[in-house]
Amino acid sequence: MFDKNIVSEKYRDFNLISEEKKKDYLNANPFPSIILDDFFNVTFLNKVLEEFPDLSKIDSSQNYKNINEVKYTNNVYKNFPNTIKRLFDFMNSNFFLEFLQKITSIEEKLISDKDLNGGGLHEIKTGGKLKVHTDFSRHPTLDLDRRINILIYLNKNWDKNYGGDLEFWNQDMSLCKKKISPNFNKLVIFSTNDFSNHGHPDPINCPDNLSRKSIALYYFSKGRPISDLNNKNFKNKTYFKSRDGFVNETYNQNEKIKNYLRKFKFYKYLKELEKKYLRKNK
């Protein structure tokens, strides 16, 4: 059942909003996307912000600190405070999935990821960054294709001089086509494929007592258009991209030999055995 205390009044007619916005979504540049400001009920989202923990102080958080990314994440749903759980339950509900299906015009049935692989709570402190990248294209354990990213921003009074804008780049990484400030109660929806370059490549510069907080969810389908893929034999992983004019800004492990081997059925068979038996026991 739709919890009206979660969504702001102007967005409660989901059928109307999806019809009004789907053309804007499909025609967005440089890839399908939409920004919905003030999407959530303010009282509800204030409670979410109050409950948002300092991820650096939680043992179950992941701490990324490398040339590509400096950030904290946590996707352990069972440990989330109650209001944050309510938010994730709503975003993964059939009601919200139907809205996503309509506004994105994706033909394949969208499926939520209750395990929040790569999603959950995200926090970036001063000096943190996330270089421009394309996301992993397949679910890590299920036979599903990743199709939609959602980001919810929780940053009040965020000064533009702090940086941290979400950037959308064109395919050859020569031009940033869109910048999105991470302001409180902003919902960003965008299609993810091998060409949807996004990130915030420059370190943020906020006071030590502040951080860039967001919530991320990813949605999948069984099957996708072949036009979404650069090369179906590439490894299913995040690929970081250097901006035009920046030398060695990011690092990706050289996998030319593996990419060649991935064309062959025998190699794929061996990798499936590895996933099934070896990784399972680690």
Q: Where in the chain are the domains?
A: 9-251, 255-282
- Structure pTM? 0.89
- Pairing assessment for the beta strands 176-180 and 239-240 based on DSSP bridges: unpaired
CA–CA separation, 238 and 135 (whole Å): 4
78 pLDDT more than 60: yes
What is the predicted pLDDT for the residue at 264?
A: 54
CA–CA separation, 224 and 232 (whole Å): 12
pLDDT, one tens digit per residue, over 145-194 is 999 999 999 999 999 999 999 999 999 999 999 999 999 999 999 999 99
Structure tokens at 163: 């940086």
pLDDT band at 81 (very low <50, low <70, confident <90, very high): very high
Fold of the CATH domain 9-251: Jelly Rolls (2.60.120)
- Whether 88 and 69 have beta carbons less than 8 Å apart is answered as no
Residues in a beta bridge with 146: 220
Handedness of CA 145, 229, 216, 153 (dihedral sign): negative
